[in-house]
Structure 1
């Protein structure tokens, strides 16, 4: 999508000041659906803008990761409010969040590949040439991410979509209370996670796609619980911890699976094919172990 073409860029202003408080910390049960959207979105947007600025001049590993997380949280938030935002507003915003997260993720993906290849080296795999090539690919990804993620464009885009969403919500649900709405959206995310978990657990050997679907559904639910925890019944602190533990297992498996796919799809002109194959063999062995651990977690939550 052409950001400049689809979204008229407004004049930059000081709408999004950096706010390190957790999103949702200022919510109350008396808040309306419309007012809570701004309270939840603003800290996440401010964090994304700040990280985009910082990444324009450096290639911090954690910075790219947290920028991708911020865009994922915004996608979850727009999904939560989609019944009142409408399909057009939701789709246009979330597709761009997805694209920006993917651009930020390019560097992060090569960081993960690099860490895994170093572990393979330490276990005795002779893949020195591939490790060096992966470092070069990571450097190229940094340049591409920095070129594609311009902080002024990111700020202007986020300014525009959040203001548009806020205007839509104020016209549709400005006086509706937040609690019942938040609880219904959390239940909907819980049902989606349960459905995907049961599908993944039905077969003895889970498929990668099924585990990936569980991981995405779990992230969405965790983000919504973190957003709405101050206004929904029951606290859900324990549920957030359990979801985080599940995500860690699924994330460890996803790192292996995604790294295998990335290496397979990349051309390494200076690396002999047998070196690439040695790395893929090591990854396959690790993937089997991590898939078993992830599948056990999924069967646990499915039950």
Structure 2
């Protein structure tokens, strides 16, 4: 299936069953692998659908950001359950989650780039031209996102793909306990983070790709800990807090690196080339500084 094309969206009469009980009231280490899926997925789906609806009339930065986060969480959840969902079903769903997140992320990326350029403008007045151009790019991204992300289609897609997942899990692991499975998936995510952190730390010079890999692995682990806390032994609040802190540092670096790439790849017909080059030089200096800070945090994880 071409995942960059349209996902088949059957108009289902059934809806993914929403658990109306208070969060955590039905979740315990005695729950089964299959029974926990709906409880974990439902609030994330509800968040994604609500954010998609809001985007049709609103264009606030936070809305686009939270929609992208919701799809990232669903990708992590599908990875966790992939041993029972199967490789093909997992790949199809996660690729569509990724595509939708990218559509929401276009506006968010220009928000970040615009804010960084405003910081540069404080010492380089000429960059004001590029700040204005970035605002226009952001407006174009909003229109594109609103055109491509239809809340009804998103809701039907999510109901369809999650109902299929739930049916598959009920047929394959309806009686298997969640605790050992959840702990095994968390350990695998921990090993992946440690491996990527050590690879990044071994490099004499920091590499953007390695740091990006660490950031993605850290996000996956954090989301899994948040999902599976009711089922696994031990208190993981401190670990989640530490992962969030590391992610913030890596995120600051990623914002600079992504904004530099965004500006290099865009065309600005009304902005003199020397102004664009000036902004890129400023971003490059900021990127080097933030890369050093991010690398220090990664070495801490690796050790």
Give the drift of 1:112: 0.1
Contiguous gaps of at least 5 residues in structure 1: none
- How far apart in 2 are the matches of 1:93 and 1:55? 22
8 A contact 1:65–1:108 mirrored in 2 = yes
* Correspondence for 1:108: 108
Give the drift of 1:62: 0.1
- How far apart in 2 are the matches of 1:87 and 1:130? 45
* Correspondence for 1:122: 122
Distance 1:273 1:145, change over 3 A: same
* Correspondence for 1:289: 289
8 A contact 1:125–1:279 mirrored in 2 = no
* Correspondence for 2:275: 275
TM-score (norm 2): 0.95
- How far apart in 1 are the matches of 2:90 and 2:3? 17
SS of aligned partner of 2:126: coil
- How far apart in 2 are the matches of 1:139 and 1:17? 35
2:81 is the alignment partner of 1:81: yes
Distance 1:139 1:82, change over 3 A: same
- How far apart in 2 are the matches of 1:85 and 1:108? 31
Give the drift of 1:8: 3.8
8 A contact 2:12–2:160 mirrored in 1 = no
* Correspondence for 1:7: 8
Give the drift of 1:124: 3.1
2:257 is the alignment partner of 1:257: yes
* Correspondence for 1:221: 221
Give the drift of 1:33: 0.1
- How far apart in 2 are the matches of 1:289 and 1:221? 26
- How far apart in 1 are the matches of 2:275 and 2:285? 16
SS of aligned partner of 2:197: helix
* Correspondence for 1:174: 174
- Deviations along 1:4-37, whole A, 9 cap, x unmatched? 8642422366647698976x67421111000101
Give the drift of 1:66: 0.1
- Deviations along 1:259-287, whole A, 9 cap, x unmatched? 00000000001100000001001000100
8 A contact 1:18–1:47 mirrored in 2 = no
Distance 1:63 1:159, change over 3 A: same
* Correspondence for 2:137: 137
TM-score (norm 1): 0.95
Distance 1:16 1:147, change over 3 A: farther
- Report how many residues are paired: 302
* Correspondence for 1:92: 92
Give the drift of 1:208: 0.1
SS of aligned partner of 2:267: coil
SS of aligned partner of 2:232: coil
* Correspondence for 1:237: 237
8 A contact 1:219–1:247 mirrored in 2 = yes
* Correspondence for 1:188: 188
Give the drift of 1:152: 0.2
Distance 1:19 1:267, change over 3 A: farther
- How far apart in 2 are the matches of 1:19 and 1:112? 36
Give the drift of 1:88: 1.1
8 A contact 1:27–1:230 mirrored in 2 = yes
Distance 1:153 1:8, change over 3 A: closer
Cα RMSD (Å) of the superposition? 1.9
